Every structure is written in structure tokens, then in C-alpha cells.
Structure 1
């Protein structure tokens, strides 16, 4: 039973670690590169000779691109864990992920009962202009069916995305009637600021999910908006933020640091030392600042948190960060594939290297995150004392550590809330999403009466009604008896339902305003700013 509970708690974290392993952690795209082809040199290598022999002598047809890709993959395994080869398709997706936009129709969707349901329409976006609504069912795109068990998210994206300016003719079902809608694709922003709102009259909250090409611009807009509302204390949430472009983190740090303070420097065997300093008056150089981190906060998140901790500018709350202190540049190859290559290490202003050791291989390196759960590090503050590296002293005399992530100033353990194994079916089946989606469509006029996400989070009065309906839904759809939950489990699950419901109307602002009510890390942050 204990093993099951551990799995329940840790499974979401393990999924996140897998995502982090595949994320683009570098800070710069070298789109042209210097290479005319990875294997093309003035003098043929043995690898090139082997490929030529296979091409000219092998008994059967063979894809040389696959062979080359496999050879490159094998080479990359001999380097650090963050040097990665991307085949052509994955290379395009990796770049798109951090561009801050993509070409598409401007909707979010979910698949319920083998049908694509529109769960969000971007205001002012192509689908909004064409008249699409939340609740529409997309059954075909340009006469290609999107109905059935074989429809995957990747297939749906393949059909609805396309070059900006091109047309997508959607066949939709609305109010049991079939109609066609012509949507002209456009550039769709992908926000990296998940939420920005005032917790109280003077304390603001910003949640950043990654450092994309537009993150600094989004951050500045959020910061200015909160300051107009009277903010003079800020909680900046970098939990789960796996990094991205380092220059975006540097620009953000500049808004918090005065003078020409050193923010970070990079150095490698083939890369000369380069310093990045504050260079302009910042918007928030004064005022209390709290940074939230956890074991999935990595790379650019650690650059920002490390700089502010080294200069005694911010209080760091949460758990020890990922420990990724390597800088990558991405080089495109002639076939459209790419190599993300580690070219330097980064160091905090005090000279701390945040990088964890990786000499035992990629598997051991990645599993170190899950080990923090099993050895108790994410549960007990005292366990952190054995994991720190070299000590450094900040200007105020505060001791900080290098060699394995950013150690928080104040530790908050991971939430160990668990549910009976029988209840887990509602999480894995998608039952929660489908229920909340249906509930929103039925009760939209009531939800729309709330002025904003804050009003909703503070005054939502349908919790009991929604819970009773969900109990019936879980029993009929998943054969799950929710009456077995204790009071704490029921409260946690109800809060999650309310958060998902808030997201349909106010996006992530509504989602986080609800969830943060019961968040122990937020509670500790509020205690510190007071």
C-alpha cells in the first residue's frame, strides 16, 4: 500500500522529469550554423566511408538519413545529458516551443468520446473572427475526418495548423446541427506567463512556465499592470519552469537589480568567459521579492534565482532546484535536423556552478530527481543539509551553496496528498476534464456573472452543487464511489474542480487563483512578505 501511495504522489513528477529531459534548455539558436552537412569534411572520415560503402554495396535499399541520425544519436550519448540530437520534425517542434508563437487557428481543444471539442477560442484570433465558440465539435478539417478512436492530439494539430494566411475549412457540430466554417490561419501567441494577479492590496503574483522568446515582454507587461494596481511586494513563481532562453532570464534579473551588478557569467573550454550585467534602471529594484522554486525549476530559472539570491535581493522558497548549469546552442544540419550542443557552463555572481554531476550517465542523472523523494529530501528540510556543495557568502553574510541546484532559503515539503487506488481511475480516464467542460457549458451564464477571476475565486457558491453532480458522474461513468474520501481528500478534489472550472472562463489566472488558496508554498511566501 505504501508503494502505491508513493507512486501516486510521484507519478506526475516523473512525467514532468521526462518532459524536462526533452525540453530545449539553451539560450540561443544558431540557425545557420557553420556546417554544410554534418559528415561533410575536406577529408572523408571512417564514418563517411562506411556510409558510402553502404550506399554503393548493401544488398537492400536503406535510408541513409536514418543511419546518420542513429550514428549522431549514439555520439550524443557520450556527451553530457543536455546535448541532444533532434531529427527534422522534432527540431521544428523544439524551436516552435520557445518561439512564443506558432501558425494555427487559435483554439484549444480536448477529445471527449472520440470527438474534438473546442474548449477555448483565442479572443481576436482566427477562429474567433470566423465565429467558432467554446462547445463546438470539430468533426473534419478540409474534409479529413477527425472523429474516431484513432484520432490523436498530434494528428489534430497536423490538420489544424498550417502556414499563416492559408485556409482551414472546419466541419463543426453546434446545437446538433452540422455546418462549415472557413478559418484563415494566423500567428497564434503561446503565453509563457500563466498567471498575474493581485493576492491582496499590495502583493502581486506572477507565474512563468518557461523562458521563451517573448517571456521578458510578457513579464514586463504583467509587472507594469500589477504596479498600476498598487503592487509593492511580488511573489514570482518559477516552480516547474524547466528553463529556455537565458537572455530572457538575464533581462528579468536586470529589472530587480540596481547598478551594473553581475547577473551571470558563462565559460567553457572553447568558449571564453562572458559576463552579463545589469545595464538599466529596473522596474522593481525595491520592494519585497520572493522567488518560488522546486525540483523541476531548471536552467534559466536557476540563473534568475541564483543571481537574486547571491545579491540578497530575493528570498527563495520551496525545494532544491533541478541543478542544470550548462549552456546550449542549437545548430541546424543540412537535412533539417539539429544538434543542441553544450558549449559552456554558467556561474552565478558569486561563482557558483549549479550543475549536478553527470559522470555516472544520463539514466542516473535523471533518476536523481526521483531519488530525492525516496531519500526524503523533498519531505524533510533536514535532508537538504547533506546535499549542498561548496559554501559561498553573500554580501549580507548569508551562506549559499553551489554544485547541485539552488538551495532555498526556506524549505516547504512536497504535498503528499494521496487518494485511494480505486479513486485514481477518475484522474487517468479524463473524467474530471469532461465533467468540468460539460458543467461549464450548462452553467456558463452563472459563471459569467462573476466580474473577474478574483471575484470568482473568492465568491464561487456552487461548490456543493458541482460536487454532488461530480459524485454522480464518477459513479456512472467510472464506477467510482467518491463517498470513500475523507474530508481532506474531498476538499482537495473540490478545489481542483473549481480551479478547472475557473480556467474555462479566465484561463490560468482563474486556475491559479483558486489553487493558490490552499498552497503551502504560497502561504509561506505570504508569511515572508509580511
Structure 2
């Protein structure tokens, strides 16, 4: 009962507030000074704000009240319409723009000390000779070591206006160094890996559809084709979407003629079709697209178009199921509304939007329920085969309204990860261990010239595992009963993380994909045709 009351409390409060405002408005003449000043052509929300501003018993932050009111209004709409405060809007814009102003390092706070985990190639920090493993003690006049700062707090100190310097005091080994770094535009790639798996099969991993994604994709494709690419694995797992135009442009590179890619339509948005408009870079080669339950929106536009036209084989698990299009509308205070303006439909007319009639929480929880009810593990549990049927040019039957169903299902490993290993992954201790191992063993790793030779020849074996067991004990975690199979999985992950420190994300995926069952299934499929 208490839980139900808590759920309905905001609505009851809003109703009471509206009734109270209405009564107060009717009785305004009886109040001192004859009521309140009213803005011409104002809405009830404007009037309520003015009443509070003029009549409330204590001082109040009107900006905060207005922001909370906007959040509640957006909560009454669909799950993807949201209010973005200025800070969140800036972060969203930076993610999608493909760049931000900074010094070009990835850092992590370990035991109240900021550790540089990687340095952006050709960025200002590399030019200033910062290195992976450096510890930041001071930023300008602010000591940050031992200060329990958040990531946001550190970022606010390091970032600034383009072209301005920031002085960092660095601990490198036992040596203290003062290094000046000039802030600059830092690229933030959305395409995180592109390499040849063998002499014919290329692999591309796209994390987000941003403003630079199409250019990054084309550059990667042109390079891989020169290296012999005739077949492609395009990995969209975990890609939550982004700019629809980027997905359309990339789809155009796979589809021929003037094929329909997607169309959008809404009550206030007339139907608009998006079609192919140029010859594509890869219209005929064998193509697989990898998806999972976190592949959403623009990822579903792309995979849905390729599936509808029988152009690609979709492999993995059912996608998120987001078939709504948002636009960002700036507000006068630097905030914005991210508002759903239309629904999108695949070329066959499928809307893959999941129902959100039971509310935002149930809608979001459905994704995590897939892990609990078996949908993420078993093909029969993962199917959405109800409602209207749609037939592809090759005669295959597809369905809508619940995400993109893969043509080939690959479930998660049914072998459960122990609570001990889960703890070390989720609290960051695993990542901290691999980082520390890398710092202490760089000379051991130096001879390896590529991620593949590293994975083939590097055998940390018993020594590294024992070090990890000892590390875990400091975190009150006992790994004595970990199975041999789980130990092997963890060691494979260790190798991939080590490769990331040496070769960045590209190296990480080259090593990780060697034991990835979805990539393995994709390779098997491509070689079987």
C-alpha cells in the first residue's frame, strides 16, 4: 500500500496544487494588495509561478521549481521525451558532435588519485608528453590528490576555453613534474574499431550515430577495402542511437537504386520518406549486422532497412524497440526539451516501437526483464511473432512492434557469472587491477607488435591470476571457488583490457572478438554461403 501511495503521490500533489491555485485565484480580491499582478496571455503555469513568486511565505528558487514542473510535464508524455537541464544538454551535444574542448586524456579516480588511463593520439596531452600511468596531483592552484573529487569535479577543473593553458602537477614514478597543456578540440570518435578479421572479412564497431559517424564509416570502409574486404561484420550492439541522418547516410551505402530507407510520420509531422540518393560503397558484398537489447533508435532504423530489403543478415538478440523520433528544442535559460515529434517506420511499414502504455518504469524495466525471464538466453523466449505480418522481397515474414528480431539468434552464455566476479567488474576493481598490471609490466608487453600476436603469444597464466586473487582479497572478495571455465573467461577479458591500454579500443575489440560467440557465429555464417 505504501508503495502504491508513493507512486501516486506526485500526481495527488499536482492535483492538490492546481485546486489550491484555483481557489486562491478566485479569492485573490480578499488578499492584501488586491491579489497578484498577472501577465497578459499567460498560461496557468505562468500564473502559478507568479503567485508563488509574489505570495509564498519564504524565499524560493523559481528556476528549480520551473525545471521540476517541466520534468513532470515531460513525464506525462512518452518515455523518450525529456527535459534537459543546461549541463545535460551540453553533455548530449558533445557526445553527438564528435568532439569537445579538453586536454585529450582518459582518466580514472583510484583511491582518491586521478590516474591517466590513456592519452589521445596527436592530442594536446600527447604533445605535452603526458603518459598513461601519470598521476595528476594538482590542477593549476588546486590540489586534487586525496580530495575525494567526483569525475565531474575533476573534469570541471581540467576543461576550459579552447586555446587556454592548464598547468598539471604530475607524479610519474617517484618524480614530480609540472606540465602545461593547451586546451584544444578533442575528437570523440563514434566508430571505435575497424580491422580485418581475415583476408576477406572486415569488422566495424559503431558506438553511436553522431555528426561524424558517416565520415568515420566511409574512411574505415575505404581503408578496409584496400586491405581486401569483400565481406563485412557491422557491430551495432550497445549502440543506443543518435542522429537519424547518420543512420540514413550509412544505410544508403549498403542499398542500391532509390530504395526507401525509412519514413517518419506524426500528428504534427506530415509523412516524410528518406530514400537512397547515391551509389553505395558496399551494395553487393556479404553483410551481417550484430544487435542486442541495447541497440536502439538509429541502430534499429539501419538494421530494419537492411532486413526489410534482404540486404543483411541480422545476428544477435532482439533490439530495444524504440520507434520514436526526437528533436531538441532549446529554451531561453540554456536548457532544452528533447521532444518526440514523429514515429518512424521501416521500408515495409513496420513500427518497431514497444508499448509504453503501462508507464515509463515498466517500459524501461522490460529490457532488464529479458535477462530474468530467459529472453536474452533462449531463442524461443526471444521471439516477437504476433500482430501484422510483413513480407520481404525474398518472401521472409517479419513482425513489428517489439524491436528488430534477429535472423540468427545468439543468446548470452547460460553459465552464470559468480557474484564475486560480478562485484569486481561492477565496482571497477577489475579494471583497476588490469591498469596496475599494465603499468608495472609495460616492458613485458613492449615486444608485441599487434593485438593478434599479443593474444596468441602472451601467456600470463598462473602468475597473473594469483596476483588478481590477491588483489580481490584486498576488496574482501574470495576467488578460491571460481570454476575453471569462469577463470578462462576472466583471463580472456584481462587480455582484452591490456590490449586496450596498448592499442586503444581497436586493440580491445581485436582481442575480445576472438572469443565472442556472436562474432564467431557471424564468421561461420559468412563462410558458409
- TM-score, normalization: structure 2? 0.90
Paired position in structure 2 for 1:521: 518
Alpha-carbon distance change, 269 to 41 in structure 1, aligned in 2, over 3 angstroms: farther
Paired position in structure 2 for 1:314: 312
1:239 and 1:296 in contact (8 A); partners too: yes
CA deviation after TM superposition for structure 1 residue 387, in Å: 5.0
Paired position in structure 2 for 1:505: 502
Paired position in structure 2 for 1:484: 481
**Matched ranges for 1:366-381 at <5 A:** 366-381=364-379
Q: Distance in 2 between matches of 1:453 and 1:221?
A: 21
2:158 and 2:166 in contact (8 A); partners too: yes
1:425 and 1:478 in contact (8 A); partners too: no
1:204 and 1:235 in contact (8 A); partners too: yes
CA deviation after TM superposition for structure 1 residue 380, in Å: 1.5
Q: Give the secondary-structure state (helix, strand or coil) at the position aligned to 1:317.
A: strand
Alpha-carbon distance change, 373 to 424 in structure 1, aligned in 2, over 3 angstroms: closer
Paired position in structure 2 for 1:495: 492
CA deviation after TM superposition for structure 1 residue 177, in Å: 2.0
Q: Distance in 2 between matches of 1:365 and 1:41?
A: 39
Paired position in structure 2 for 1:392: 390
CA deviation after TM superposition for structure 1 residue 423, in Å: 4.3
CA deviation after TM superposition for structure 1 residue 226, in Å: 1.1
Q: Distance in 2 between matches of 1:246 and 1:87?
A: 23
Tell me whether 1:110 sits opposite 2:124 in the alignment.
Answer: no
Deviates more, 1:49-58 or 1:496-505: 49-58
Paired position in structure 2 for 1:461: 459
Q: Give the secondary-structure state (helix, strand or coil) at the position aligned to 2:153.
A: helix
CA deviation after TM superposition for structure 1 residue 479, in Å: 4.2
Alpha-carbon distance change, 384 to 59 in structure 1, aligned in 2, over 3 angstroms: same
Q: Distance in 2 between matches of 1:426 and 1:369?
A: 23
1:135 and 1:174 in contact (8 A); partners too: yes
Q: Distance in 1 between matches of 2:404 and 2:264?
A: 17
Alpha-carbon distance change, 388 to 415 in structure 1, aligned in 2, over 3 angstroms: farther
Q: Give the secondary-structure state (helix, strand or coil) at the position aligned to 2:441.
A: helix
Q: Give the secondary-structure state (helix, strand or coil) at the position aligned to 1:97.
A: helix
Alpha-carbon distance change, 242 to 98 in structure 1, aligned in 2, over 3 angstroms: same
Q: Distance in 1 between matches of 2:508 and 2:285?
A: 27
Q: Distance in 2 between matches of 1:493 and 1:80?
A: 40
Q: Distance in 2 between matches of 1:159 and 1:53?
A: 40
CA deviation after TM superposition for structure 1 residue 42, in Å: 6.5
Q: Distance in 2 between matches of 1:228 and 1:469?
A: 43
Q: Give the secondary-structure state (helix, strand or coil) at the position aligned to 1:335.
A: coil
2:291 and 2:318 in contact (8 A); partners too: yes
Alpha-carbon distance change, 261 to 42 in structure 1, aligned in 2, over 3 angstroms: farther
Alpha-carbon distance change, 418 to 149 in structure 1, aligned in 2, over 3 angstroms: farther
Q: Distance in 2 between matches of 1:169 and 1:58?
A: 47
**Matched ranges for 1:429-468 at <5 A:** 429-468=427-466
Q: Distance in 2 between matches of 1:112 and 1:302?
A: 37
1:321 and 1:406 in contact (8 A); partners too: yes
1:457 and 1:513 in contact (8 A); partners too: no
Q: Give the secondary-structure state (helix, strand or coil) at the position aligned to 1:140.
A: strand
Structure with greater contact order relative to length (CA < 8 Å, sep ≥ 6): 1
**Matched ranges for 1:15-30 at <5 A:** none
**Matched ranges for 1:67-78 at <5 A:** 67-78=65-76
Deviates more, 1:167-176 or 1:146-155: 146-155
CA deviation after TM superposition for structure 1 residue 171, in Å: 1.1
1:435 and 1:470 in contact (8 A); partners too: yes
Structure 1 spans left out of the alignment, 5+ residues: 1-39
Paired position in structure 1 for 2:127: 129
Paired position in structure 2 for 1:254: 252
